[in-house]
Amino acid sequence: MTNAATESPVTLDEYRAMDMAKRREVWLEISDITEAEFDAHMEAQKAREATVPRPGAMAPDFVADRLDRNRKQTGEQVRLSDYRGKPVAIAFGSFT
Question: Residue 86 falls within a domain, yes or no?
Answer: no
Query: Is pLDDT of 60 > 80?
Result: yes
Question: In this structure, what DSSP letter does residue 68 have?
Answer: -
Question: Residue 18 falls within a domain, yes or no?
Answer: yes
pLDDT (mean) for 25-37? 91
Question: Residue 59 falls within a domain, yes or no?
Answer: no
pLDDT number for residue 92: 72
Tens of pLDDT, residues 34-50: 999 999 999 999 999 98
Please give the residue range of the domain that contains residue 21: 12-49
Whole-number Å distance between alpha carbons of 64 and 83? 13
User: What is the average pLDDT value for the chain, to the nearest integer?
Assistant: 87
Question: Residue 29 falls within a domain, yes or no?
Answer: yes
Query: Is pLDDT of 13 > 70?
Result: yes
At residue 38, what is the residue type?
F
pLDDT (mean) for 68-74? 91
Question: Residue 61 falls within a domain, yes or no?
Answer: no
